[in-house]
Amino acid sequence: SQKIEQNSEALNIQEGKTATLTCNYTNYSPAYLQWYRQDPGRGPVFLLLIRENEKEKRKERLKVTFDTTLKQSLFHITASQPADSATYLCALAFSGTYKYIFGTGTRLKVLA
């Protein structure tokens, strides 16, 4: 079955640095990959969607890459701020389905 791996250990970085989070998957490559942010006690908030034929997508300080050869997506937050501290989830979907498979998320802590 399809598996998604996100670093379960928390990532601590200094304010102003670039945070890079990894999402690895096994088996088949998805047609779509999404990244979400989740704060404690709240539902996930959609950040970015990238399609399999797109290598990179940007939105303000956020950048997502999608490498179907490596079966990996990287999520970058540049000029990170303490307010970026949250858990970040990646989710995969395949063509012809409406079912996203979520990773367990990586907790990011940006230190002031």
Contact between 103 and another protein per CB under 8 A: yes
- Please identify, among the stretches 11-19, 63-71, 72-80, 85-93, the one whose residues bind another protein according to the rule CB under 8 A: 85-93
Three-state secondary structure string covering 21-87: EEEEECCCCCCEEEEEEECCCCCCEEEEEEECCCCEEEECCEEEEEECCCCEEEEEECCCCHHHCEE
- Residues of this chain, 6-35, that bind another protein according to CB under 8 A: 31-32
Q: Which is nearer to another protein, 6 or 80 (CB)?
A: 6
CA angle, residues 59, 99, 77, in degrees to nearest 5:
20
Smallest CA-to-CA distance from 21 within 54, 65, 61 is with: 65
- Please identify, among the stretches 9-17, 52-60, 75-83, 101-109, the one whose residues bind another protein according to the rule CB under 8 A: 101-109
Annotate each residue in 40-79 with x if it binds another protein (CB under 8 A) or - if it does not, as one string.
-xxxxxx--x------------------------------
* Chosen residue from 91, 106, 107, 108 binding another protein by CB under 8 A: 91
Task: List residues binding another protein (CB under 8 A).
Answer: 31-32, 41-46, 49, 89, 91, 93, 95, 97-105
